Structure 1
């Protein structure tokens, strides 16, 4: 899912080459297509990952350590979401 800034055949072809159908808003089309509802989830996820300073500013040189911190952060975010959801 992408905004109007990525409305170019170059980006659409790149996404298709990865085996995914691109969903990119067209320039000049009206707002309110509902695309932002899905994009908001992705943007919120990145914002939640920035809670963790070690992910926001990468200190680790080794990829496996960074991936471990990323997995830990995702687990903490999911746990918080599930804990808060079960209270409602």
Structure 2
């Protein structure tokens, strides 16, 4: 576990092998997802619908991020 118990000594971490703390990535992702009210307050009763809503929100966030970076073509015509 990441949180040690009371009285437990702190273990040394060997970062030479490339193990870096990445908790901020998870926290940032949860912060992005909490902006969607449908995900924050679970209205969906079926798990499959809730999972689809999460996937759609993630896709929307990635589209917006790519669009800001100028890597997304906005002139795509769907017929």
TM-score w.r.t. the length of structure 1 is: 0.58
Q: Which of 28, 42, 46 is residue 10 of structure 2 equivalent to?
A: 28
Give 1:78's aligned residue. Answer: 62
Unaligned runs of 5+ in 1: 9-25
Aligned-residue Cα RMSD (Å) equals: 2.8
* Highest RCO, 1 vs 2 (Cα 8 Å, sep ≥ 6): 1
Give the drift of 1:80. 1.1
Give the drift of 1:40. 0.8
Segments ≥4 residues shifted beyond 4 Å: none
Structure label with greater radius of gyration: 2
TM-score w.r.t. the length of structure 2 is: 0.64
Q: Which has the higher helix share?
A: 1
Aligned length: 64
Map 1:2-81 → 2, pairs under 5 A:
3=2, 5=3, 7=4, 28=10, 34-35=20-21, 38-81=22-65
Structure 1 CA distance for aligned equivalents of residues 50 and 27 of structure 2: 20
Local SS of the residue matching 2:62: helix
